[in-house]
Amino acid sequence: MELKVDSEFLGSATALTGAFLMSTGYPVAFFVFLVSNLFFIKMSLDKKMKPFLMMQGAFMTTSFIGIYNNFLR
């Protein structure tokens, strides 16, 4: 039995969750955004969406910067 992951739905759901957490002042949102980035990267690879993949690469960089600034520095 193959597990099918709906990357588009899960990416959207985690992005919305991250946005809510960020707007209420919780820096843990950067980890949620990172999960969202990974789902969207999988989706863009599956659907061969190169510009979207490039954008998610940039967004993932900002997620790592946020994690560094809030948790590692």
- Residues contacting 14, CB < 8 A, separation 6+: 32, 33, 35, 36, 39
Task: Give Cα 70 to chain centroid, integer Å.
Answer: 17
pLDDT grade for 3, boundaries at 50, 70 and 90? confident
Average the pLDDT over 1-11 and give the result.
Answer: 86
pTM of the model: 0.92
pLDDT recorded at residue 1: 65
Q: What confidence tier does 18 reach under pLDDT thresholds 50, 70, 90? A: very high
